[in-house]
Amino acid sequence: MKCLLGLLIFLGFGLSPLQAAEKPNIIYILLDDAGFGDFSCYGQKLFKTPNIDRLAKEGMKFTQHYSGSTVCAPTRCVLMTGLHTGHAFVRGNREVQPEGQSPMPADIVTIPRLLSQVGYVTGAFGKWGLGAPGSASDPMEHFDAFYGYNCQRAAHNYYPTHLWKDREKVPFDGKTHSQEPTMKESLQFIRDNKDKPFFSYMAITMPHAAMHVEERYRAKYDKQFPEYANTIGRYAGPEVKNPIAAFAGMMAQIDEGVGQVLDLLKELDIDDNTLVMLTSDNGPHQEGGHRPDFFDSNGPWRGHKRDLTDGGIRTVLLARWPGSIKAGSVSDLISAHWDMLPTFCDMAGVQIPEGIDGISMLPELTGEGHQATHEYLYWEFYERGGKKAVRFGPWKGILHNISKGNKKIELYRLADDPAELNDLSAEYPQIVEKVRGYFEEAHTHSDLWSFKKPAKKQKKKPSKK
């Protein structure tokens, strides 16, 4: 009887179609500082992103998706661990010298570690930012392969002196743009693992400042925006002429890379068994000469990177999985980066860890089963006076200047006021109290992160001699 049961399980009887099928490949493309409005399928008018638009045309476009944080490192930690910034280990950017960011704990549970349990080959390409080289959370402590910048500070310059391949420091001449070799490595990873289930985390550094892009991508935009020919952008590495044209060129190069991925999946005949997702780590930046208002990069939302208004945290999400996700579909599911871990576990047949904040989005993606929803989404951010925000239903609550003792919560109804201009806190005190309750419930203490204002240094009294 046991042998018969084993045979039935082997043949797939009694399993759902997803369980019985070959485990799907997962490609997750995380752009860096791209705004909600920086894609033509989300309304961009000054340049086109045709390959990215294919993800929307051939898959699902999300309209109410949110990033893990409003800056780089915490977003990546939230994504990798399924915990929002009230619970995550990394809640802000914290640098180490000479290279890298503070590491996560050695035993932390992450997406690649979970997927590895069921036979996935895992690779990360682009920017890591969650542990310095050789640290307890060097990317090779999580992934089977890595290529790119370990350090997000080093990634400010697209003409590096070195990148990392696995644990090897690969010298560069300081004149070679980093995006093309990084994309080449990510495509080779797909080729090498086409016969196995794989997870490719493509953490593309563009369009983060500096606004470095090769001439072949920006040339047409220099002609399109000649009035900015004499403007200069400075951030890291060489200065940039006409950063307006450079930004559009960066988006063109990103779009080309997405097209290369989609073409390769068809060439390898693994298209139908591969989920491709594309998103951004936070709202648009304002450094290096980039002008997000010129491009309407934040769409209808107010704010930019480092804000907790929706301009800083509302982001795109496109998901394409031929045969499993309905082409041309649109979802208004309120979701966030911390939902990726349980979604990928659900797809791969991995038990979802207890105690995480994410909810699997697989039912929404496939249209099969019941889609659970969040009671609320939560963020906290420690720069610029300290902030907290919560999104629930049509409402958004924000508390600014926490380190300065401010306790007044702003309240906005996003359905009527997407730009968060009309504070309704005086009119709805009972909802404000609900927000205050969510703030208390969602935050756990961390010895590393505090909203307290740093103590002033005591001046030394002159010695009495």
Banded pLDDT at 66 (limits 50, 70, 90):
very high
Residues 423 and 286 both lie in one domain: no
Average pLDDT, the chain: 93
> Would you place residue 452 in the very low, low, confident or very high pLDDT band (cuts 50, 70, 90)?
confident
CATH number, residue 272: 3.40.720.10
Q: What is the pLDDT of residues 232-251, one digit of tens each?
A: 999 999 999 999 999 999 99
Structure tokens at 407: 């306790």
| Residue 141 DSSP one-character state | G
Which tens digits make up the pLDDT trace of 293-315? 999 999 999 999 999 999 999 99
- Token pair, residue 128, equals 């890591």
Within-domain flag for 9: no
* 286 shares a domain with 391: no
* Residue 459 pLDDT: 53
How many whole angstroms separate alpha carbon 286 and alpha carbon 309?
A: 15
pLDDT at 87: 98
DSSP H helices, 193-331, are 215-224, 243-267, 292-295, 310-313
In contact, 275 and 24? CB cutoff 8 Å: yes
Task: Verify that 347 and 391 share a domain, yes or no.
Answer: no
Q: Is residue 454 part of a domain?
A: no
Q: Residue 14 pLDDT > 50, yes or no?
A: no
* pLDDT at residue 302, rounded to an integer: 97
Is 462 a residue whose pLDDT tops 70?
Answer: no
Residue 459, domain member (yes or no): no
Please tell me whether residues 261 and 352 are part of one structural domain: yes
For residue 220, being part of any structural domain is answered with: yes
State the number of CA atoms in the 13 A half-sphere of 367 facing the CB.
11
Compute how many other C-beta atoms are within 10 angstroms of the C-beta atom of residue 463: 5
Clarify whether residues 310 and 410 are in a common domain: no
Question: 284 phi and psi, to 5 degrees?
Answer: -70, 145
Does residue 447 lie in a domain region?
no
Position 364 pLDDT exceeds 60: yes
Reported as type and span, the H/E element at residue 319 is strand 314-320
Phi, psi of 366 (to 5 degrees): -95, -15
CA-CA distance, 280 to 316, in Å (whole number)? Answer: 7
- The arithmetic mean of pLDDT across residues 43-49, rounded, is 98
Residue 22 is predicted with a pLDDT of: 82
453 — pLDDT class (breaks 50, 70, 90): low
Q: Are 314 and 283 in contact (CB under 8 A)?
A: yes
Asked whether the beta carbons of 198 and 123 are under 8 A apart, the reply is yes
- Are 122 and 56 contained in the same domain? yes
**How far apart are alpha carbons 284 and 142 in whole angstroms?**
28
Is 232 in a helix, a strand, or coil? Answer: strand
Supply the CATH number for residue 414's domain: 3.30.1120.10
In this predicted structure, what is the pLDDT of residue 9?
A: 31
Q: Is the pLDDT score of 465 beyond 90?
A: no
Q: Are residues 344 and 397 in the same domain?
A: no
Task: State the average pLDDT over residues 146-169.
Answer: 98
pLDDT at position 113 is 98
Within this chain, do residues 135 and 201 fall inside the same structural domain, yes or no? yes
Residue 464 has pLDDT above 60, yes or no: no
The contacts of residue 229 (CB under 8 Å, 6+ apart) are 222, 241, 242
Same domain, 345 and 390: no
> With 70 as the cut, is the pLDDT of residue 227 above it?
yes
User: Does 183 lie in the same domain as 316?
Assistant: yes
Supply the pLDDT for residue 460: 53
- Amino acid of residue 284: P
415 and 289 belong to one structural domain: no
Whether 2 has a pLDDT exceeding 80, the answer reads no
- Please give the residue range of the domain that contains residue 65: 22-366
In the prediction, which pLDDT does 98 show? Answer: 95
Higher pLDDT, 375 or 463: 375
Residue 457 belongs to a domain: no
Q: Is the pLDDT of residue 54 over 90?
A: yes
Domain count, the chain: 2
And the tokens for 101? 């960011």
Are 269 and 411 contained in the same domain?
Answer: no
